[in-house]
Amino acid sequence: MNINNEKPYNLLPFLPPDIDLDDVEILKKVNTANIALSKLEGSSLAIPNRNLLIEPLSVREAVASSGIENINTTVAEIFQAELFPEKIQSKAQKETLHYKDALRVGFALIKKQGFLNTNSFLEIQKILEPNKSGVRKLPGTKIENSSTGEILYTPPEGEDLIRELLKNYETYFNNFSDNVDPLIKLAILHYQFEAIHPFYDGNGRTGRILMVLYLILSERLELPILFISGFINKNRSDYYRLLNSVTKNGNWKEWILFILNAIETQSLETAKTVSEIKKMHHQYKETIKNKLPKIYTAELVDYLFANPFYSQQSLAQIVGKERKTSAKYLNSLLSENLIEAFRFKREKIYYCPELLKLLS
Whether residue 181 sits in one domain with residue 33: yes
Residues 6+ apart with CB under 8 A from 235: 258, 262
Q: Give the pLDDT score at 146.
A: 77
Cα separation, 232 vs 239, whole angstroms? 6
Say if 277 falls within a structural domain: no
Q: Give the pLDDT score at 334.
A: 96
Give the Cα-Cα-Cα angle 306, 310, 316 (nearest 5 degrees). Answer: 95
pLDDT per position as a tens digit, 34-52: 999 999 999 998 887 888 8
Overall domain count for the chain: 2
Cα separation, 16 vs 168, whole angstroms? 9
Cis amide prior to 16 (ω within 30 degrees): yes
pTM for this entry: 0.94
Residues 6+ apart with CB under 8 A from 282: none
Whether residue 117 sits in one domain with residue 44: yes
Q: Give the pLDDT score at 360.
A: 86
The series of mean pLDDT values per 10 residues for the chain, 360 residues long, is: 88 96 96 97 87 89 92 92 77 92 96 97 97 94 87 96 98 95 98 98 97 97 94 95 96 98 97 94 96 94 92 85 88 96 84 93
Q: Give the pLDDT score at 134.
A: 95
CATH code for the domain in which residue 257 is found: 1.10.3290.10
Q: Which helix (H) or strand (E) holds 205?
A: helix 203-217
Q: Give the pLDDT score at 116.
A: 98
Whether residue 309 sits in one domain with residue 242: no
For residue 349, what are the β-bridge partners?
342
One-letter amino acid for residue 185 of the chain? K
Whether residue 216 sits in one domain with residue 304: no
One-letter amino acid for residue 129 of the chain? E
